[in-house]
Structure 1
Amino acid sequence: MLSTPLPPDAAYAALQAHDARFDGRLYVGVTSTGIYCRPVCRVRLPRRENCRFFSTAAQAEAERFRPCMKCRPELAPRALPWTTMDASRTLAAQAAAWLDDCDDADASVEHLARHLGITSRHLRRIFQAEHGVSPLQYLQTRRLLLAKALLTDSALPVQEVAHAAGFASLRRFNAAFVEHYRLQPTALRRAGREAGNAGPAPRLRLSYRQPYDVTGVLAFLAPRAITGVEEVGAGAVTRTLALSHAGRRHAGWLRVSFGKPGEVGVELSPTLWPAAGALLPLLRRWLDL
């Protein structure tokens, strides 16, 4: 039985209450539909006996559940920091953080093990014990969920989505997407458009867990804005930047706006869309999401 932040009955109560405190820390797989959701999802409440609870999206996908098209698990805020009870849990948390930020299509367990200074066998053992999936399963879930967000919210061609999400080739991306989601990437893009997930202009969305001091964050950034680089005002921050992704340098502008509670809208210049995979973890850290 995989560990979750709550016992199953308490997790079901959190689902009934749409408790946002567990958003990003708890996922529910519904056996009658094969779909997994966030606890804040507003679809019809499933029956208790049809629910299976997980701590991460990777665990749900390892059990062959597909992400919900309504609540979109890829938008969930990241889990709160792990408590450092012992060295193994600390290493497993560091490994997950490295994989969250990884934009190398050739990344491997051996690369990660060398980064942490442990053997790949030990890494696999502690990671499976802590997260319930292997490191590569965890990484693939992150890549697929990023690809899902880009397919739904951006106009990037499918091949560029594959590379932006960290896949080495379009063939590998298509195979992984069909295997996990039983859906072609182009079909998901059409479904997203029909569901109204995409706005009039391509933009990504990031979620944060309430409470979040939007006014305080903007008040902190405003006096530190660099003239000609950053501008803060009207609930938004605009800035220029350059970064490397998949061996290439990308430069352009971005705008983050705090509109709907619990959500940050991210607009990018066309030159930055291919680097979204490297940019999103930086934005989460920058805004403390």
Structure 2
Amino acid sequence: MLFTLPDPDSLYQALLARDPQYDGRAFVGVASTGIFCRLTCPARKPLRRNCSFFDSAAACLEAGFRPCKRCHPLGEIAPAHQALLAALEQDPARRWSEADLVALGHDPSTLRRAFRRQFGMTFLDLARQARLRHAARHLAQGGTVIEAQLEAGFDSASGFRAAFARLLGHAPARMAEAALLRADFIDTPLGGMVALVDDHALHLLEFTSRPALGAELRRLSALTKGRIGLGRSAITDQLEADLARYFAAESAQFTTPMVLYGTPFTRAVWQALQTIPPGETRSYSQIARQIGRPEAVRAVARANGANQLAVLIPCHRVIGADGSLTGYGGGLWRKERLIALEARLAAASRDQKLRESLDLACNWP
């Protein structure tokens, strides 16, 4: 910015006068329409209370406003870029990637530079803003905050809160003031995980890419009458510490208290999973025999797949009778990595015990 903008009241007077000295230097976002314009726009002037002023078109876009089709505050747009913007408007919830852009014949680096020059942000940044607005509509229609966060494609709760506050003027958690469960995201070497907690225990822990995550959230939302918000408790901190030790291959002992939903049979399966030592695996039929239901192999497989406390309830330690990895909601590549991690952890534990026994033998009188 080459100069400091005057106060909003002065800018509003410039808007009313269509003062050309601010063209390209100041923009107005109109809350009642969701549109942003040049101050010289020929459209009917909005009320002062509906106006917010910005020093760039990028700031308007980041705040969630759409460009006016009369004054074209973004300037002339290349036809190829117009097609991308039209696709974005048609499907605002779509999660775009560079691979999508390449498939459409664009060079990602060239496109990034062009969009930054034109809009002050990349096309992927614009797409994220569109998802955020879509998430806001989801909230307005009664959806849960955490569902909206996932739909917006934000793995970081703090990033979602900050972006949401810029868009609507307040954090999304205010829409669930009396939340029974609070959700936050935890980064791990295998990707983001979402954790739902109350003040006493963990209720859900899943990788954000798990296909069944939406259904699990809806079930918990129904149980809590929609009272799911964003936030943390001491349980989140405890879980984060447990996971940090685990992924550092230091310990597979989890101290975080958990709530197990499901039928008595399902809970029996999950409790059996917790008895499998790290570094070892079991088959579905072995678990069925362990819980005294040798004929219920398929039911054991269903209960294993219904686990909503990933890693802590180690459903990844269950494999096919032929030794194959079989299915895993977080992705087979994660299952393979978790098993390999625990093999290293078990080997380190054995080495430590061997060293301790050798030290004891050397010190024996």
Does TM, normalized by the shorter one, top 0.5?
A: no
Higher strand share: 1
Bigger radius of gyration among the two:
2
TM-score w.r.t. the length of structure 2 is 0.32
TM-score w.r.t. the length of structure 1 is 0.39
